[in-house]
C-alpha cells in the first residue's frame, strides 16, 4: 500500500511520513525542496525531487510507483508572506492542486487527504469554530486553501475522487526524540521564534498586537502537537481506503492560549528569561482561533496524545537545543 506525500520534506509532511512508515505504509515523497529539507525525510521513503506544477514530472512518478492514496502538503503556508505575494500562493497552492487532481484522475487514484487550515474561516463569528461555520479568509493563504478544498469537492462529483480536508489550527512540537522538527527560513511562527530567543540565536520576541479583544489583549490560538496531527492524517487515509466519503475536519485542542501565555509557559519550560516587547499588529491576523474538533474525535476516532501546550513546547525545545541552526540540508 503506497501513499504519495507531496510536500513530505516540510515540517508537518516529514512527521507524517515518519508516522506512516512506523505504521508500515510504503511512502513516496515528492518535494521541490523550496522550503523543505532533504534530511527530514525518513530514509525508508522513496524520494523524488520535483515540483507538482510540473505535470510531466508528476506523471512519471505516478507511472513508476503504485499509488493508492495521496496526502497532500505541498504548498506555501506563511500568512504574512501571502499578504505581500498573493499570486505566489495562487500559483503554487492552487495551480499545484489542479495538476495533482488531474494526474490522480488520469491514473485512477481516488483518495486524497489534504492539509487545510483554520485560516479558511477568517475572523470567526463564534468560538469554538465548527466546520460548518462561515468561511471568509482574511489572507490569500487561507483563500488559496479554501479554493483547493472547493476544487476537491468538484473533483469528487466529476471523477469520484474522495477527499478529507484537515483544517489545522496552530501546529507545534517535534518528534519526541528531537530527531525531526520545525525549521523554516525565515522563521515566522511563534513557538520556534520564542525558543530561538531562549536559545540565544535571536535577541527578543516581538508580540504582534496588544489591543485585541482577548483576555490579555494578545491573539489567542489553539495549539495541536505535530505528532497528533500526523496521526490524524493516517486515520483519515485509512478511512478513505475503507470506502469513506468526502469530509472536512477541524484539528485542534479546543483550548485557546494567548501569545503572552505561550511566552510564560516557554519561560517556565526552558528556565530562560526570553526577552519580549510589544509590537504593532501583524497584517491578516484574526484575533482568536479556537477549534471545535468534536467531529474528528467522533468520526475519525482521533485521540490526541499530547493535548497540552507544555508537551508541544517541551518537544520543540528538545529539537531546538539539538538543532540550533536547523537541518544541515
327 is catalytic: no
Q: Is 209 left (phi over 0), alpha (psi -120 to 50) or beta?
A: left
Residue 61 or 166: which CB sits closer to ligand UFG? 166
CB 278 within 8 A of CB 207: yes
To ligand UFG, the closest distance from the beta carbon of 188 in angstroms equals 5
Residue 238 or 287: which CB sits closer to ligand UFG? 287
Find residue 5's DSSP bridge partners. 29
Question: How many angstroms separate the Cα of 41 from the Cα of each of 24, 29, 34, 192, 221?
Answer: 15, 8, 14, 20, 28
Residue 100 or 289: which CB sits closer to ligand UFG? 289
**Residues contributing to the site for ligand UFG (CB under 6 A):** 77, 79, 117-119, 169-170, 188-190, 193, 205-208, 219, 221, 259, 282, 285, 289
Question: Which member of 141, 168, 212, 223 is catalytic?
Answer: 141
Residue 70 or 119: which CB sits closer to ligand UFG? 119
Residue 100 or 263: which CB sits closer to ligand UFG? 263
Neighbour-count burial for 55-77, b at 16+ CB within 10 Å, e otherwise: eebbeebbeebebbbbbbbbbbb
To ligand UFG, the closest distance from the beta carbon of 256 in angstroms equals 11
To ligand UFG, the closest distance from the beta carbon of 62 in angstroms equals 28
CB 44 within 8 A of CB 1: no
3-state secondary structure 75-98: CCCCHHHHHHCHHHHHHHHHHHHH
To ligand UFG, the closest distance from the beta carbon of 290 in angstroms equals 9
To ligand UFG, the closest distance from the beta carbon of 1 in angstroms equals 29
Tell the burial category of 128 from Cβ atoms under 10 Å away from its Cβ (0-12, 13-18, 19+). Answer: buried
| Number of residue whose CB is nearest ligand UFG | 219
Tell the burial category of 107 from Cβ atoms under 10 Å away from its Cβ (0-12, 13-18, 19+). Answer: middle
| Residue 126 φ then ψ, to 5° | -145, 155
Query: What positions carry a catalytic annotation?
Result: 141
Amino acid at each position: 500500500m503506497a501513499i504519495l506525500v507531496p510536500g513530505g520534506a516540510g515540517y508537518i509532511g516529514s512527521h507524517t511520513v515518519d508516522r506512516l512508515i512506523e505504521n508500515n505504509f510504503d511512502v513516496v515523497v515528492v518535494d521541490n525542496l523550496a522550503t523543505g529539507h532533504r534530511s527530514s525525510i525518513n530514509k525508508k521513503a522513496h524520494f523524488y525531487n520535483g515540483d507538482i506544477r510540473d505535470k510531466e514530472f508528476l506523471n512519471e512518478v505516478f507511472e513508476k510507483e503504485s499509488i493508492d492514496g495521496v496526502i497532500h502538503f505541498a504548498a506555501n503556508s506563511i500568512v504574512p508572506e501571502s499578504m505581500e505575494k498573493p499570486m505566489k500562493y495562487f500559483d503554487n497552492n492552487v495551480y499545484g492542486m489542479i495538476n495533482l487532481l488531474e494526474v490522480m484522475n488520469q491514473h485512477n487514484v481516488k483518495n486524497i487527504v489534504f492539509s487545510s487550515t483554520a485560516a479558511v474561516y477568517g475572523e470567526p463569528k463564534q468560538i469554538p469554530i465548527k466546520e460548518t461555520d462561515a468561511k471568509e479568509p482574511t489572507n490569500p493563504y487561507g483563500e488559496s486553501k479554501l479554493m483547493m478544498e472547493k476544487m476537491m469537492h468538484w473533483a469528487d462529483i466529476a471523477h469520484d475522487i474522495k477527499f478529507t480536508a484537515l483544517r489545522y489550527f496552530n501546529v507545534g512540537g517535534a518528534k519526541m526524540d528531537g530527531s525531526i522538527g520545525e525549521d523554516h527560513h525565515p522563521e515566522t511562527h511563534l513557538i520556534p521564534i520564542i525558543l530561538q530567543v531562549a536559545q540565544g540565536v535571536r535577541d527578543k520576541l516581538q508580540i504582534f498586537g496588544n489591543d485585541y479583544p482577548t483576555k490579555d489583549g494578545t491573539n489567542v490560538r489553539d495549539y495541536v502537537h505535530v505528532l497528533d496531527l500526523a496521526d490524524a492524517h493516517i486515520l483519515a487515509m485509512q478511512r478513505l481506503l475503507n470506502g469513506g466519503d468526502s469530509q472536512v475536519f477541524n484539528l485542534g485542542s479546543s483550548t485557546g492560549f494567548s501569545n503572552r501565555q505561550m511566552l510564560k509557559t516557554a519561560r517556565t519550560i526552558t528556565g530562560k528569561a526570553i526577552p519580549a516587547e510589544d509590537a504593532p499588529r501583524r497584517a491578516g491576523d484574526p484575533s482568536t482561533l479556537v477549534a471545535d474538533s468534536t467531529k474528528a474525535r467522533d468520526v475519525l476516532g482521533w485521540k490526541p496524545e499530547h493535548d497540552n501546550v507544555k508537551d508541544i513546547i517541551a518537544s520543540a525545545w528538545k529539537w531546538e537545543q539539538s538543532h540550533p541552526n536547523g537541518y544541515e540540508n
